[in-house]
Amino acid sequence: MNYQKLLPLFFVMTCLVILTACWDQRLLRDQSLILAIGYDKAENNALKKTVTFPKNTNAGSQNDEQNLSEQGSNTLSVIGNTVKNAENKMDESITEKFDRSKARVIIFGTDLAEEGIFSTLDSVYRDLRGPLHANVVIFNGEAEDALNIKSDQAAITSDLYGDLLESADKAGITKNKSVQHACPIILGEGKDLVLPYLSIDEPKDEVVVEGVALFHKDKMVGSLNIYQSTMFLLLSKQLAKYTSLNFEVNDKEKDPIKRFVDFKVQKNKRHIELNTDDEDIHAKIKMEIDIEIDEYAANHLSDEKKMNKLRRKIEHKLNELAEETITVTQEANSDVLGLGEMLKAYHYNVWEKINWEEVYPEMNIDVDFSVNIIRHGLLN
């Protein structure tokens, strides 16, 4: 009589046993993992998709170390009308099935980025297995070339880019943006996207970071160089672990090394004032940063006067760089600091009246740095 209670359980079990290995199963064994994807513009408005995937090592047993050294990646390029169309074509050319859910970087060629990246990324957002965490980068040139690079630094191309981006992020040169994090910025009002900007250093055939690419909506409109992008990160309060800057402060010094100062930014505070009282809107950005001197061959920081002098020089240089950076973004009409967003949140009435896209390139943005030297290493 009690057996009755067990019947439904047995039923479920039997069903499961019979149906095992059905429907949604995707064995890791049978998937070729795409680890980096590149998109380029092809002729006739078509899309060229390039992928890299690790070489399938058929060396029999798995635990010998040879495999690791033999590792490398294959690259494959296909042209299609849409991303998915290209992907389907790709599946025809390889024995295993492609799986892009583990992609680490998605690279856009500049041509395509200038036309807009959002529609290309649509399939990533829509796919339940889309690589939302992949970092999006812009490549100065063709993404296909970027993925075909042979480097000694890493066996797998995706590792090369992944590690490069990570270290650049830590050094405060760029800010990594995953596909997901890019989305609210592209779709949101009053803030524009920046993405890491890479290129190939021709003579050495190595990938280098150029700075960041500026966007307006989802179209690339310009770029900042490394110094400017560091400044941009400071201004946008995205302080990295090791943000460091280098300025020429003593231009009369004979010893070239003594002309410069190197410092690390330890802490930065930002205060933005949006003045909307007059007809024209202008913004005042007050920055307070704490720095630590890393290298200053001119020495003699024990004297408070000299230290203040150095401090003012640094402040001056910072202001100059900030102005330069903001001018570039204004020229590109890329509101990377999100001033529009702030205007909308705190001065909604004003925001409703104006067309931000016209206001931003014209508006006045003043930056005022105040520097506080908190440490200068072991030496004075």
Alpha helices in 236-274 (DSSP H): none
Q: Please state the closest distance from residue 346 (CB atom) to other proteins, in A.
A: 7
Contact yes or no for 365/319 (Cβ under 8 A):
no
- Integer Cα distance of 179 and 107 in angstroms: 11
- Apex 116 CA angle, 46 and 108, nearest 5: 70
* Residue recorded with tokens 């036309």: 115
3-state helix, strand, coil in the chain (%, to 5): 40, 30, 30
- For other proteins, what does the binding mask look like between residues 147 and 166, x meaning CB under 8 A? ---------x-----x----
DSSP H or E segment with residue 109:
strand 105-109
Question: Binders of other proteins: how many residues, by CB under 8 A?
Answer: 64
- Integer Cα distance of 236 and 326 in angstroms: 11
Residue 237 interacts with other proteins (CB under 8 A): yes or no: no
Q: Please state the closest distance from residue 274 (CB atom) to other proteins, in A.
A: 12
Nearer to other proteins by Cβ, of 21 and 378: the residue is: 21
Report residue 194: phi and psi, to 5°. Answer: -125, 145
Residue 1 interacts with other proteins (CB under 8 A): yes or no: no
Report residue 41: phi and psi, to 5°. Answer: -85, 130
Of 76, 298, 301, 342, the residue at the interface with other proteins (CB under 8 A) is 342
Residue 185 interacts with other proteins (CB under 8 A): yes or no: yes
Q: How far are the Cα atoms of 191, 193, 319 from residue 218, in angstroms, in the given order?
A: 11, 8, 29
- Integer Cα distance of 123 and 82 in angstroms: 9
Of 84, 89, 102, 284, the residue at the interface with other proteins (CB under 8 A) is 102
Of 41, 104, 175, 376, the residue at the interface with other proteins (CB under 8 A) is 104
Contact yes or no for 242/233 (Cβ under 8 A):
no
Of 183, 207, 224, 233, the residue at the interface with other proteins (CB under 8 A) is 183
Residue 153 C-alpha from the chain's centroid: 20
Nearer to other proteins by Cβ, of 6 and 379: the residue is: 6
Which span sits near other proteins by CB under 8 A: 44-52, 57-65, 199-207, 257-265? 57-65
Tell which positions 186-225 bind other proteins, by CB under 8 A: 187-190
- For other proteins, what does the binding mask look like between residues 309 and 338, x meaning CB under 8 A? -----------------------------x
Strand, helix or coil for residue 204: coil
Contact yes or no for 42/144 (Cβ under 8 A):
no
Residue 377 interacts with other proteins (CB under 8 A): yes or no: no
Where do contacts with other proteins occur on this chain (CB under 8 A)?
Answer: 2-3, 5-6, 8-9, 11-13, 15-17, 19-29, 31, 33, 35, 54, 56-58, 60-63, 67, 99, 101-102, 104, 125, 128-129, 131-133, 156, 162, 178, 180-181, 183-185, 187-190, 338, 341-342, 344-346, 348
